[in-house]
Structure 1
Amino acid sequence: MTWQVHAVKYADRNARTRADSFMFDDDHAAPHAMDYFMWILQDGARTILVDTGYDADEGARRDRPIRLDPREALAPLGIRPEEIDTLIVTHLHYDHAGGLHLFPNATLHLQEAEMAYATGPCMCHRALNHPFTAEHVCEAVKRVYAGRVVFYDDFGEVAPGVTVHRIGGHSRGLQAVRVDTEAGTMCLASDAAHYYENAFAGKLFPIVADAEDMLRGFDRIISLASHKGLLIPGHDPLVRELFPCHDQAEWIHRLDLGPMKELPF
């Protein structure tokens, strides 16, 4: 089975430098923009959402405004939030799980290690808890009590042709998503590689729970894709240059047919 895959941009943050993206870099002062994405997997009969983005209230709290409400961003694909029943949460950081409440009927697919990390003693430290928002984590806990979380311990199959793989590094239970597509096997890396440069140049992202896991993770996500053009990083604006735009929405890009040109790496 092959899946159609779209990247849906809902926000960006352009007042950044390379110091915000790479722990050790030769030009920390240079500008370095960031895009914020959700991903949609469709096989004709089924729709799977990968991550939720965050809403305007969270954007205001963090002074990181969004361009589109996640629900509005998904509308050109014919997706109604209440109809989403399968939601892969790559990790519980605010920009990936900040919209859980927007998809009230979804069952979450999450790594055991991520829930343990986000609710455990590490969250007593501001250096580790700042990418999380307690209300988002509590929403995930409520889904546990409602019987609507499927947990994985490293590897799991969400649907035929869609598997999750714990990578760790950026967050203790971060998972990547492997998807069978017409162009080959794709790896939605999420924040296992914020940018292509993280993975292909082995550069650590500054928000890191375990540096060794992050570095090992670069090799693993590369190996999960059929070729490097099918590795999709979590926040790289270059994705929008490499993949074709939706004909009715400039913020949506189709990934499953492969990139339009070679990666510059």
Structure 2
Amino acid sequence: MSEWQVHAVKYADRNARVRGDSFMLDSAPNVAHPMDYFIWVLRRGDQVIVVDTGYDAAEAALRGRPIRLDPHAALAPLGIVPEEVATVIVTHLHYDHAGGLHLFPAAVLHMQAAEMAYATGPCMCHDMLRLPYTGAHICEAVKRLYSGKVVFHDGDAEIADGVSVHRIGGHSRGLQAVRVRTQAGWLVLASDAAHFYENFQMRKPFPIVVDVQDMLDGFGVLDRLASRPALIVPGHDPLVMTTFPQDRAAHIVRLDLGPIG
């Protein structure tokens, strides 16, 4: 059984953040703490799976959070055209992970049933829980459902040989991590189950959370899924760009080779 190549594609960053935005009850909450934003690409031969879609310039303007690269431009060095991608794993429906769904019109979306229920249910009556979502993105997911292009999962599921999803919850009800077989071992794309290395290494919850216990328990799930801790890839940590080797362009790193050194 062959392994997958895995790329992290950085499309945006946000530097006007502090540690209090990243860690609950932090001892230095006002210290600067930047965040990067990624799309992930899995490739094996002619097979391509995109994990999350980023967000576009329109969403960037709406939220006042500029992007450095439109998803089309960000993926171009890998030879990937969003309109031609057949499979997209949606780790959850927050704007920065599902804001580009409309850019992948041919793709079948794989998501947790719990995420759709959460994003369209009574929890969205609360401003704080609704804030990371954008209605148009949820409508796009629903339209895709009604065109027969959504596959729902309930917990653990295999998407392809060597690629599986695992519901973590915590940050959102249906957040899922992605486990991938690579030449370096079983690699885990944590997405927002761990925004930063420090979240899971030090068991520090991220402040945007619907269930703190699920988030804390999820750190242990990430540990069990990965062959070793160095193969857990957090969803937003700028350290990812220096921990793994650059590939194709300055905004892309290759994860399946393992950390540098």
TM-score norm. by structure 2 comes to 0.99
Compute the displacement of 1:81 (Å): 1.1
What is the alpha-carbon distance in structure 2 between the residues aligned to residue 45 and residue 181 of structure 1?
16
- Secondary structure of the residue aligned to 1:39 is strand
Q: Which residue of structure 2 lines up, in the alignment, with residue 251 of structure 1?
A: 251
Amino acid in structure 1 at the alignment position of 2:251: W
Q: Which residue of structure 2 lines up, in the alignment, with residue 27 of structure 1?
A: 28
Q: Which residue of structure 2 lines up, in the alignment, with residue 212 of structure 1?
A: 213
Q: Which residue of structure 2 lines up, in the alignment, with residue 170 of structure 1?
A: 171
- Secondary structure of the residue aligned to 2:257 is coil
Compute the displacement of 1:71 (Å): 1.0
What is the alpha-carbon distance in structure 2 between the residues aligned to residue 181 and residue 157 of structure 1?
15
What is the alpha-carbon distance in structure 2 between the residues aligned to residue 125 and residue 107 of structure 1?
30
What is the alpha-carbon distance in structure 1 between the residues aligned to residue 57 and residue 83 of structure 2?
19
For 1:72-221, list aligned pairs within 5 A: 72-221=73-222
Compute the displacement of 1:45 (Å): 1.6
What is the alpha-carbon distance in structure 2 between the residues aligned to residue 134 and residue 227 of structure 1?
38
- Secondary structure of the residue aligned to 1:206 is coil
Please give the per-residue CA displacement for 1:135-186, whole angstroms capped at 9, x wherever unaligned: 0000000011001001000011100000000000000000000000000000
Q: Which residue of structure 2 lines up, in the alignment, with residue 70 of structure 1?
A: 71
Amino acid in structure 1 at the alignment position of 2:168: I
- Secondary structure of the residue aligned to 2:188 is strand
TM-score norm. by structure 1 comes to 0.97
Please give the per-residue CA displacement for 1:10-65, whole angstroms capped at 9, x wherever unaligned: 00001110001001111001110000001000001200000000001100110000
Structure 2: runs of 5+ lacking an equivalent? none
Provide runs of 4+ in structure 1 moved above 3 Å. Answer: none
Q: Number of aligned pairs?
A: 260
What is the alpha-carbon distance in structure 1 between the residues aligned to residue 241 and residue 67 of structure 2?
17
- Secondary structure of the residue aligned to 1:147 is coil
Q: Which residue of structure 2 lines up, in the alignment, with residue 2 of structure 1?
A: 3
Q: Which residue of structure 2 lines up, in the alignment, with residue 40 of structure 1?
A: 41
Please give the per-residue CA displacement for 1:100-141, whole angstroms capped at 9, x wherever unaligned: 000110000000000000000000110100000000000000
- Secondary structure of the residue aligned to 1:49 is strand
